[in-house]
Amino acid sequence: MTTPGASRPDDAFIVGSEFGSDLNEASVKAITTGGAKVSFTNVQNSINNPVGNVLPTGAPLWATFTREADSTFPRIMLARKASGVNLSATTFSSGSHTHSVSGSSTSSAGSHNHSVSGSGTLQYAVPDYQPAGHGANKTELGFVECSKDRTYNNFSFITGDSWTLLGIQGFYLVVYKMTPGSGLLTKVAQTGDIKAAVGGTNTEYTFGLNNSIVAKKADIFGLATLQVTSVAQTCNSLCQLTFWPLSAPAGFKPAALYATAGSSSSPLSSIAYGSLSFDNGFVPYYALS
């Protein structure tokens, strides 16, 4: 509408103006983005809320002692496993007794009673296993999937209940990244020789890697321990989870959570998928963080 010679109505658009009556670039942006800014600000305030983070991240303590870790399985699943029953001395007594046999003839001899008493206790074993020693020098792999876009700097594992008395030649932690499709494992980080720093049983250890690993969500990594031994030496045991053997779908890589690679006295730079030996019934505890 037009108002020749009179005042324009409130909020009327002024022909030829860029934004309209009483509006400029700043006020238009405020109007058009105000709702989005308020919503985004509320999200920011929630995330930074001093009462607590509303977005859960990291791993709980029952999963791993190492914060922000992706592990082969939650640590709390390392339950004691039954290894047998220890029976105490038993006693046996019998009074007068009778046995009878029916058939073509019958035999009997007095009434009788029998009693057996005793007790026993269930024995438990540490959920660990001992990698092949005596110069086998196998790469022991456990596979993990990256839970989110992140950077890894540390490798964790848990020692078992047995320790070699004769020592070992070397102990290395290695991380391989799996190539989708081919399954090729390529080394992306490792530690130096840690054998002198690992001396306790039933202990979770964490070691820094020689470089950071930039990972994307759903990347698959093969975490590996390599214990180098002579023909007279055995490997240190590692904690592991035993479970009912399950076969992966045809063509899925990796075919299991645990595998071994061929003999080497130093960390392999790459491992062809076809050279891996899988076991779908257990996996060692490893974690990246």
pLDDT tens across 33-89, in order?
Answer: 666 666 666 665 655 555 444 555 566 776 667 778 999 999 888 887 666 666 555
Q: Hey, CA dihedral for 25, 27, 29, 32, is it positive or negative?
A: negative
Tokens, residue 110: 């007095």
Tokens, residue 105: 């003839």
Interatomic CA distance for residues 251 and 235, integer angstroms: 33
Interatomic CA distance for residues 91 and 111, integer angstroms: 21
| Residues with Cβ within 8 Å of residue 26, at least 6 apart in sequence | none
Three-class DSSP category at 142: strand
Tokens, residue 168: 């070992």
Residue span(s) of the chain under CATH 2.60.120 come to 129-288
Question: Per-residue pLDDT averaged across 194-207, rounded?
Answer: 93
Does position 97 have pLDDT exceeding 60, yes or no?
no
Q: What is the pLDDT of residue 184?
A: 98
Does position 207 have pLDDT exceeding 60, yes or no?
yes
Helices (H), the chain: 25-47
Interatomic CA distance for residues 159 and 285, integer angstroms: 9
**Contact 237/219 with Cβ under 8 angstroms?**
no
Q: What is the pLDDT of residue 246?
A: 86
Q: What is the pLDDT of residue 52?
A: 47
Name the residue with higher pLDDT: 41 or 107.
41
Q: What is the pLDDT of residue 195?
A: 95
Name the residue with higher pLDDT: 52 or 17.
17
Instruction: Judge if the upstream peptide bond of residue 254 is cis by omega within 30 degrees of 0.
Output: yes
Residue-wise pLDDT for 229-288, tens only, equals 999 999 999 999 999 998 999 999 999 999 999 999 999 999 999 999 999 999 999 999
Three-class DSSP category at 39: helix
Residue 51 carries which side chain, given as an amino acid letter?
V
Does position 124 have pLDDT exceeding 90, yes or no?
no
| Residues with Cβ within 8 Å of residue 250, at least 6 apart in sequence | none
Residue 119 carries which side chain, given as an amino acid letter?
S
CA–CA distance from 153 to each of 1, 28, 110, 287 (Å)? 69, 47, 80, 11
Q: What is the pLDDT of residue 178?
A: 98
The CATH number of the domain covering residues in 129-288? 2.60.120
Output the CA angle 140-141-142, nearest 5 degrees: 135
Average pLDDT, the chain: 82
Q: What is the pLDDT of residue 164?
A: 76
Which residue's structure tokens are 């010679």?
Answer: 5
